[in-house]
């Protein structure tokens, strides 16, 4: 008899320089896919290109990444990391399908009851 168990997995990781390394064209592609309003898309693009004012008063261009502590940076980072979520979900589905192929479920149990017992 095969026993089944449900497992909940939590994957925790630290992505080095996550906010700093996000590719603007790839991120904007995901933004366009999710947001139908071109005004909002242009606003996000402007936010990414706005640059960062450093503590020494120098404005630095932002060719990649999202400004940390920016109001929409966490949202944009989550949108960018959605690719990782999708990859892990696909890997899990492949693993589950492989496991099912290796260990097919037993046939359902049936019980036979005579009609005489049911109908009186």
pLDDT, mean of residues 19-38: 90
Report which of 17, 18, 6, 8 is spatially closest to residue 84, judged by C-alpha positions: 18
More confident of the two residues 4 and 58? 58
d(CA 76, CA 31): 8
Gyration radius of the chain over CA positions: 26
Residue pair 86/93 in contact (Cβ under 8 Å)? The answer is no
pTM of the entire structure? 0.62
pLDDT at 7: 63
Q: Is the pLDDT of residue 76 over 80?
A: yes
Supply the pLDDT for residue 4.
58
What's the pLDDT tens digit per position in 37-68? 999 999 999 988 888 778 898 888 888 888 77
CA distance 82 to 21: 15
Top-confidence residue, 19 or 103: 19
**Taking 60 as the threshold, does the pLDDT of residue 112 lie above it?**
no
């Amino acid at each position: 008899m095969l026993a089944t168990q449900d497992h909940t997995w939590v994957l925790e990781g630290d992505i080095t320089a996550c906010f700093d390394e996000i590719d603007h064209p790839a991120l904007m592609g995901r933004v366009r896919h999710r947001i139908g309003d071109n005004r909002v898309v242009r606003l996000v693009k402007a936010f990414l290109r706005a640059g960062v004012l450093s503590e020494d008063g120098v404005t630095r261009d932002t060719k990649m990444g999202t400004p940390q502590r920016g109001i929409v940076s966490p949202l944009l980072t989550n949108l960018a990391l959605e690719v990782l979520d999708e990859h892990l979900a696909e890997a899990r589905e492949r693993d589950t399908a492989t496991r099912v192929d290796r260990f097919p479920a037993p046939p359902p149990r049936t019980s036979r009851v005579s009609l005489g017992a049911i109908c009186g």
